[in-house]
A and B are shown apart, each in its own frame.
With several copies, the nearest count.
Chain A
Amino acid sequence: MALIEYRDALNQAFAEEIERDPNVVLIGEEVAQYDGAYKVTRGLWKKYGDKRVMDTPISEAAFIGMGVGASMLGLRPVIELMFWSFATVAYDQIINNAGQIRYMSGGLINCPIVIRGPANGGTNVGATHSHTPENWLGAIPGLKVVSAATPYDAKGLMKAAIRDNDPVMFMENTLLYGNRGEVPEEEYIIPLGVADLKREGSDVSLIAHGRAVLTALKAAEILASEHNIQADVLDLRSIRPLDEEAILKTVRKTHRAVLVDENKPFCGVSAQISATIMEQAFDDLDAPVARVCSLDAPAIYSPAVEPLQLPTPERVIEKVLKLA
C-alpha cells in the first residue's frame, strides 16, 4: 500500500470517478487552473480539461445552485467550497434546493451532488473562516453529512459520496490535508453510515469524527500508557446517516463515553450523540456521557490560543479520569 497524503487520496477519488462516469464534474473557485486553494484538485484540470474541472467566479450561491440544477438533469457535480464556512452565502441553495427538492417534488427529482471542502478551526483564520457546519447540515433531513479523518477514509468515503444519489456534504480539514496514510492500489469504497472502531479498548468509549478522532487516539494512548485505561476510539465517519449501532455497541461494552467533537457544544453533533445514548443506552451507563468540544465562543485568531480552543488530548484525558 502506498503512503499518500489526505489531499492526494481525495485527488485519486476524483480522478477515478471522473474516468468512470462522464457525468462527474468538479466545480468551484480555483479548482481548475490553480489546482485548488489547498491543491486537492492538483493536476486534474490539466488532465481532464475545462469540461470536467471548472473554475467559477466568487458566487457560491449561483454555482452551488447551478450544480443542483445540473444534478436534476443527471450530472454529478462535485462542488468545492474553498472553506465550508463560505456555505453561509449559499445557504438557501444548500438547505432548500439541494436539501428539500426531492421531498417537495414527491420524489420526482434527484439531487446527486457532493459539496465538499475544509470544515475546521485551528488554522488561525478567524471566526468567519472556522465554522464546523456538520451539525448545521446534519440537522437537515434530506442532506447527508460525511467527515473523514484519514487518507484511507477520505478516498473511500468520497467515492461513495460521488456515487450516492443524494446530496452529500463532505467535510474535509485543512490540518489533515498533509497527513499521510496507507491507501491501497486497488479500488475500494467505504459506505456512508458505517463508523470505524479505530482503536479497541474496554474501559471507556471515545467517540469522535474528523480531526477529533486523532485527538481521541492521542488521548487513548496516554490513557493506556499513563493511566492504564483502555479506550475504544470510534470514528463516526458519517454524521448522517449515523452508525448508531456502533455507538451503542461500544457504550454497551465500556459503559462510559466521552464525546470528542470540534463542533461547538450547543446543539453540536455531540449533543445529538449524547441524546442518542440517553435514549437508547441509559441503563448501560455507569456514568454520564461527557463531552469535549471546542470552547464555546467564535474562533479566536491568536495562534497561541486557538489550539487550546479545540479539543485537546489533555481535556479528553481530564474528562475520562473524572468519569472513572
Chain B
Amino acid sequence: MPKTEVRSTDYANAPINENLSTEERVKLLREMMRIRRFEQVALKFYNAGKMGGFLHLYIGQESIAVGTVSLMGDNDHVITAYRDHGHALAVGMGMNECMAELYGKATGCSKGKGGSMHYFAPDKNYWGGHGIVAGQTPLGLGLAYGIKYKGLKGAALCFLGDGAVNQGVVYESLNMASLFDLPVIYVIENNKYSMGTSLERSSVVDKCLAQRAEAFKVDWALANGEDVYEVRAVTQQALERAYEKSRPTVIEFQTYRYYGHSVADAKHKGGYRKEEEIERYKKQHDPIVIFKNRLLAEKAITEEQFEAIEAEIKAEADESARFAEESPYPTVESIYDDVYFEVDRQTEAGRTGRFFFNN
C-alpha cells in the first residue's frame, strides 16, 4: 500500500488551503497562539502551587491540534490522550473552564474532577483527555463505529503519542477498523520521546510508526507536523477517505515538545535529550514562528496585527487565571456526584438500592 500521496510540496497550494480566506488563515495562527499562551500561564500558576498532579504541556505541537481540528465538520469527533489542552482549545473550549479545571475548581470543564489529563466537551465533539496510555484508541474506534451506525458521514480523529503505539490495543483497533470499514483516523503525534525514552529505544520501525498500519491494510501517511498547512492537507485526505470510503487512516506527524514530559521532568534538558536539540527545534521548527512568517510573507497579517492578537490572547489567558482563582472548589459532598447517571438524576433506578458504601 502506498504512502498516502500529497501532490504538492508547498501545502499552501493544497486545495484545502488555497481557498482559505485571510481571516481563516489568521484564525489558524491565532488558535496556535491561544494554546501556547494558555499553557504558559498554566505553567506559571502550576509552579506557583495552584494546581496538583501532572501538567503535560503541548507547546511545540500546536500546529497539529489546530490544523486537524480546523477541518472538522458537525459529524467529526476528537479524542486524545493526557496531553490534551491543545485539542481542547482547538475545538473551541473556553480558557476559563480549562484553566479552572487545572485549579481543581467546580467551574472547570470537568467540575474539577478530571484535572489536566481529563478535559471533556461532548457538545464540541471532544471526548477527552485520557490518562491511560492508548486507552483512548478503542474509544476512538467506537466513535467511528457510532458515526457509521447512525448513518452519518463523519470521522473520529483519535490522537496518540509515539510511545502509545506500543500498547497492543492499538493493533486490535486497527484490525477492527479495517475489518469493519470504520472511519477512524489515528493521528500519531511523534514528538520523538515517550517520557525519557527516545523512539529508537522503544519502537522498532521500518520507515516509520504509521507504516505499521500496513499490517492491517490501513492507509497511512507520514508528514511534517510543524507546518499547519501540511497538517491540514494530509488530514484532509484521510477525512475524505473516511467520508467517501468509510476507511481508516493512520497519520504520523513529526513534532516536538519543548518542555518536559510533564512539568516535573528534570531530565528532559541535557538528560535524555540535548539542550541543543531543544534549541534547534525552537529556532528552526517552531510551528507558530513558521506560520507567522508565512502569513507575513502572504501579507495575510502584519506585525502589528500579530501583536494585537498576542495582547488579546494574553488578556484572555490572564483572565482565565483570575476566573479560576476566584472560582469555588467542589464541595466534599460533590465527590458522590457524577458517579451514576441515575443517582444524579434521582430517577427511580437511582433511588433503588444502595450505591455508595461508606458508613
Binding partners A and B: yes
Q: Write the residues of chain A forming the contact surface with B, with a CB cutoff of 8 angstroms.
A: 25, 29-30, 33-35, 37, 51, 55-59, 61-75, 85-86, 88-89, 92-93, 96-97, 101-110, 112, 123-129, 141-142, 144, 160, 164-166, 191-194, 238, 240-244, 264-266, 272, 276, 279-280, 290-291, 293, 295-298, 300-306, 308-309
A125 touches B356 (CB 8 A): no
Which residue in chain B gives the minimum CB-CB distance to A75?
B146
Residues in chain A near residue B334, CB distance under 8 A: 305
> Known contacts A58-B194, A302-B105: does B339 contact A72 (CB below 8 Å)?
no
Residues in chain B near residue A106, CB distance under 8 A: 108-114, 120, 338
Which residue in chain B gives the minimum CB-CB distance to A305?
B330
Residues in chain A near residue B79, CB distance under 8 A: 69
A109 touches B122 (CB 8 A): yes
Q: How far is the CA of A95 from the CA of B348 in the complex (A)?
A: 25
Stretch in B133-141, B291-299, B303-311 touching the partner: B133-141
Interface hub of B117, B134, B142, B167 (most chain A Cβ within 10 A): B142
> Known contacts A55-B197, A191-B348: does B149 contact A301 (CB below 8 Å)?
no
> Known contacts A62-B176, A106-B120, A166-B340: does B357 contact A302 (CB below 8 Å)?
no
Given contacts A57-B197, A66-B141, could you give 8 more A-B pairs where the C-beta distance is less than 8 Å? A51-B149, A59-B173, A69-B144, A69-B145, A69-B146, A72-B139, A106-B110, A109-B120
B359 touches A105 (CB 8 A): no
Q: How far is the CA of A290 from the CA of B342 in the complex (A)?
A: 29
* Interface membership of B358, Cβ < 8 A: yes
Q: How far is the CB of A196 from chain B (nearest CB, A)?
A: 12
Interface hub of B133, B169, B272, B340 (most chain A Cβ within 10 A): B340
Q: How far is the CA of A92 from the CA of B136 in the complex (A)?
A: 10
Residues in chain A near residue B272, CB distance under 8 A: 33-34
> Known contacts A105-B120, A244-B354: does B141 contact A165 (CB below 8 Å)?
no
Interface readout for B80-116 with A: 1 if CB under 8 Å, 0 if not?
A: 0000000000000000000001001100111111110
Q: How far is the CA of A142 from the CA of B54 in the complex (A)?
A: 24
Residues in chain B near residue A67, CB distance under 8 A: 142
A303 touches B53 (CB 8 A): yes
Which residue in chain A gives the minimum CB-CB distance to B53?
A124
Selected contact of B110 from candidates A25, A105, A142, A272, CB within 8 Å: A105
> Known contacts A57-B175, A71-B142: does B113 contact A300 (CB below 8 Å)?
yes
A297 touches B341 (CB 8 A): no
Q: How far is the CB of B128 from chain A (nearest CB, A)?
A: 7
Q: How far is the CA of A101 from the CA of B113 in the complex (A)?
A: 10
Q: How far is the CB of A248 from chain B (nearest CB, A)?
A: 11
Residues in chain A near residue B147, CB distance under 8 A: 73
B104 touches A305 (CB 8 A): yes
Q: How far is the CA of A125 from the CA of B156 in the complex (A)?
A: 27
Q: How far is the CB of A220 from chain B (nearest CB, A)?
A: 20
Selected contact of A301 from candidates B114, B141, B173, B332, CB within 8 Å: B114
Which residue in chain A gives the minimum CB-CB distance to B267?
A34
Q: How far is the CA of A86 from the CA of B133 in the complex (A)?
A: 9
Q: Which 3 A-B pairs have the closest CB atoms?
A: A69-B142, A193-B353, A65-B138
A297 touches B356 (CB 8 A): yes
Residues in chain B near residue A305, CB distance under 8 A: 104, 112, 329-332, 334-335
A165 touches B149 (CB 8 A): no
A69 touches B115 (CB 8 A): no
Interface readout for B315-359 with A: 1 if CB under 8 Å, 0 if not?
A: 000000000000001111011111111101000110011111111
**Interface residues of B, dominant DSSP:** loop
Q: Write the residues of chain B forming the contact surface with A, with a CB cutoff of 8 angstroms.
A: 51-54, 77, 79, 101, 104-105, 108-115, 117-118, 120-122, 127-135, 137-147, 149-150, 156, 163-164, 166-169, 172-173, 175-176, 179, 194-197, 201-203, 267, 271-272, 329-332, 334-342, 344, 348-349, 352-359
A104 touches B145 (CB 8 A): no
Which residue in chain B gives the minimum CB-CB distance to A278?
B359
Which residue in chain A gives the minimum CB-CB distance to B102?
A301
Selected contact of B349 from candidates A108, A123, A193, CB within 8 Å: A193
Selected contact of A306 from candidates B52, B110, B195, B354, CB within 8 Å: B52
Residues in chain A near residue B117, CB distance under 8 A: 125-126, 128-129
Which residue in chain B gives the minimum CB-CB distance to A240?
B355
Interface hub of A62, A107, A193 (most chain B Cβ within 10 A): A62
Q: How far is the CA of A89 from the CA of B168 in the complex (A)?
A: 9
Q: How far is the CA of A307 from the CA of B83 in the complex (A)?
A: 25
Q: How far is the CB of B154 from chain A (nearest CB, A)?
A: 10
Which residue in chain B gives the minimum CB-CB distance to A56?
B176
> Known contacts A30-B196, A104-B118: does B332 contact A128 (CB below 8 Å)?
no
Q: How far is the CB of A82 from chain B (nearest CB, A)?
A: 9
Which residue in chain B gives the minimum CB-CB distance to A303?
B52
Selected contact of B52 from candidates A124, A279, A293, CB within 8 Å: A124
